[in-house]
Structure 1
Amino acid sequence: MATLHNPLRDALSPEVIRLIDAIHRSGSMAAAARELGVVPSALTYRIRQVEDALDVLLFDRSSRQAKLTVAGHELLREGNRLLLELDAIATRVKRVATGWEPQFTLAVDSVISRTTILELCEAFFAMNPPTRLKIREEILSGTLEALTSGQADLSIGVALEPTLDKSVQSKPLGSMHFVYAVAPHHPLAQAAEPVSDAQLMLHRAVAVADSVQRGSGITVGLLSGQNIFTVPGMEEKLDAQLRGLGGGFLPEHLARPHIDSGRLVEKKIQRPPRVIPMCYVWRRAAAGAEGRALQWWLGQLGNPATRKALLERPHSL
């Protein structure tokens, strides 16, 4: 669709901003004309065109010096800001042409260490890439759906064994260990171990809602018919259990500092230990065709120490 003609927009070109800046710095039309290598009458005519288009006076002509009016100062200030943005856009376009994605979106499951993710983001930004980075917090099957629906470029912490088509590729991230924990004032804190399912059924469970947009999602570690308090994320689940609002499984790296400090009590239960294999997933591209941001993130995830930190390190320092 053709862009409508806008005389105001046409009047405010980068060239005009530079002309106004030269007049402001030199103090007169004549001095600015000498600096720019143009005749004074041409410079004066161009400035009057802009003033007529905007219906404002940019310079106070009551003295021999060309002094900016309040409106002129505002135009120069905003104009210089726009020139900086134009320079940044030009640099960005040149870099994108070298293979960087304009935007790269990570879908990160809420059990993954936020501290490690943000440290990776810090290292990514240190390269000064032209790529905008976006993080989506997802839960359970929503972490995979964000990728398969095109809302993310890389999903970290997919807790289900994905049934993937040829357009999607995955690699193991490692295993997430969970512990059952309650607050010290919760009735189960004093229960004999191992705690049976019949005892768990008597008390409210705190669960994180699956973030999947289509379908009903899944639940993990809950008993049929149990009273459930559903919260939006893992941090909220931890907070609810610290307050004694219910019990439930927590990632060990998230619960351990609170268990060690006495704010949570770990309970052994009759069920087998809960260990969930996790992976990271991305959309497959032809060999060598992956964007440079994706290549960088996959390179980081290829490091065993990074994968371990994502699964075992506390959420915050």
Structure 2
Amino acid sequence: MHNAITIDALKVLDAIDRRGSFAGAAAELFRVPSAISYTVQKLEDDLGIDIFDRSGHRAKLTPAGLYLLNEGRALLDATDALAHATKQVAQGWETRIKIAVNTLLPMDALFPAIRAFQALDVPVEIQLVEEVFAGAWDALQCRRVDLVFGADSLSRPAGPFATRILGQVPFVYAVAPNHPLCHETGVIPEDTLARYPAIVAADSARHMQPATAGIFSRQRTITVTNIDQKISAQAAGLGVGWLPEPRIRERLANGTLVGLDVEAVRQPVVLHLVRHHESQGDDHACQGNALRWFWDKLSEPHQFSRWIDPLSR
């Protein structure tokens, strides 16, 4: 099917509008004025409408012509972006990179790296996805994401993954300052903790076995979506549970959360930067420039010391 509206015709209309005349458009596009007039006339004939009102001394866009120009400019912008993106893909840049962030870490921990990537001025779309517990590994294994920031070592499935250790996150058993547990003396046993609802962040895994941690048998639970909600719920006095110490450091300092001395023990979680391992013959293994850039950037030492502790020696 013949389409009367071509990219060339839209460029002519755009130039006429910006330059104010057919002659100005001809000069900008390095054409003779008659070629500009022919393009407009053919477009009008093909569409069966008047794009310009020629009743006055100067041709003026009709309402239909103005609509066509405004919508056409969006198409021109899109074709420019497509051409630029195509060139970048030819140079090894992906059109999009998806990064999963473990909910134990704040999303804004990645913002400095993203700001540095934006300074490269390459048209790569960045998608950040929050995942909980085994959900980070699940997202990578199923190729919903290209890179995981903060995958734990406990949930790792079988598969050819490349990993780099980021450090570890310690935990504190924390409650609101007005919670009844704050009145307990000495080391608090598990039976006492189990009397109160535990706030639980639901594992976001879709295919892998969901994981849970820090819940005692017969303990009631209140399930939330992520660690931010878990922190808020515990600060509101709705329940109890382990929280990543770096995420609540300020709350512990200002007293909006109180750390308890409990009998139970929660070991620090070792977190990794993870991607699929490149291997020959794997059609999915092609690593683009953006993935390599983030892999190297996020591997730089000491940049996440606010949220991740170094491994104990």
Asked if Structure 1 and Structure 2 have the same fold, meaning a TM-score greater than 0.5 normalized by the shorter chain, the answer is yes
Which residue does 1:294 correspond to in 2? 291
Structure-2 residue corresponding to 1:304: 301
Q: Deviations over 1:205-261 (max 9, x none)?
A: 101000011255010111111111110101100110011000111111111111111
Structure 2 letter corresponding to 1:266: G
1:47 aligns with 2:44: no
The 2-side partners of 1:305 and 1:255 are apart by: 20
Question: Which amino acid counterpart does residue 136 of structure 1 have in structure 2?
Answer: V
Is the counterpart of residue 157 in structure 1 residue 154 in structure 2? no
Q: Which moved more, 1:23-32 or 1:105-114?
A: 23-32
Q: Distance in 1 between matches of 2:208 and 2:25?
A: 67
1:33 to partner: Cα distance:
5.4
Mapping 1:86-165, distance limit 5 Å:
86-161=79-154, 162-165=156-159
Equivalent-residue separation in structure 1 for 2:305 and 2:157 (angstroms): 24
**Secondary structure of the equivalent of 1:311?**
coil
Equivalence for 1:206: 199
Aligned counterpart for 2:176 among listed residues 162, 166, 183: 183
Q: Is the 8 A contact 1:175 1:277 kept in 2?
A: yes
Quote the offset at 1:156 in angstroms: 1.5
Give the conservation status (yes or no) of the 8 Å contact 1:140–1:160. no
Q: 1:64 to 1:204 in 2, by over 3 A?
A: same
Cα pair distance change 1:98/1:310, threshold 3 Å:
farther
Deviation at 1:25, TM superposition (A): 5.0
CA shift in 2, pair 1:208/1:191, >3 Å: same
Aligned counterpart in structure 1 of residue 31 of structure 2, from 27, 37, 46: 37
Whether the 8 Å contact between 1:107 and 1:154 is mirrored in structure 2 is yes
The 3-state SS of whatever aligns with 2:196 is: coil
What RMSD in Å do the two structures reach over aligned CA positions? 2.3
In the alignment, the residues of structure 2 paired with residue 28 and residue 174 of structure 1 have an alpha-carbon distance, to the nearest angstrom, of 64
CA contact (8 A) 2:176 2:258 kept: yes
Q: 1:193 aligns with which of 171, 186, 195?
A: 186
Does 2:302 align with 1:272? no
Report how far residue 54 of structure 1 moved.
3.1
Q: 1:186 to 1:310 in 2, by over 3 A?
A: closer
Higher mean alpha-carbon deviation, 138-147 vs 53-62, is at 53-62
Q: Which amino acid aligns with 1:303?
A: E
* Corresponding position: 1:224 with 2:217: yes
Cα distance change on mapping 1:98 and 1:28 into 2, 3 Å: closer
Distance 1:222 1:70 in 2: 66
Deviation at 1:131, TM superposition (A): 1.5
Note the residue ranges of structure 1 that are not aligned, 5 or more in a row. 313-317
1:94-128 alpha-carbon deviations (Å, 9 max, x no partner): 11111111211111111113221122222211211
Deviations 1:41-61 (A, max 9, x none): x54443233223334321011
Structure 2: stretches of 5+ with no match in the other structure: none
- What is the TM-score of this pair, normalised by structure 2? 0.89
TM-score with structure 1 length normalisation?
0.87
Most deviating of 209-218 and 44-53: 44-53
Aligned match of 1:315: none
Q: CA deviation at 1:24?
A: 3.6
8 Å CA contact 2:172–2:245 kept in 1: the answer is yes
Q: CA deviation at 1:27?
A: 5.1
Q: Following the alignment from structure 1 to structure 2, what is the Cα–Cα distance between the partners of residues 33 and 117? A: 49
Count residues with an aligned counterpart.
303
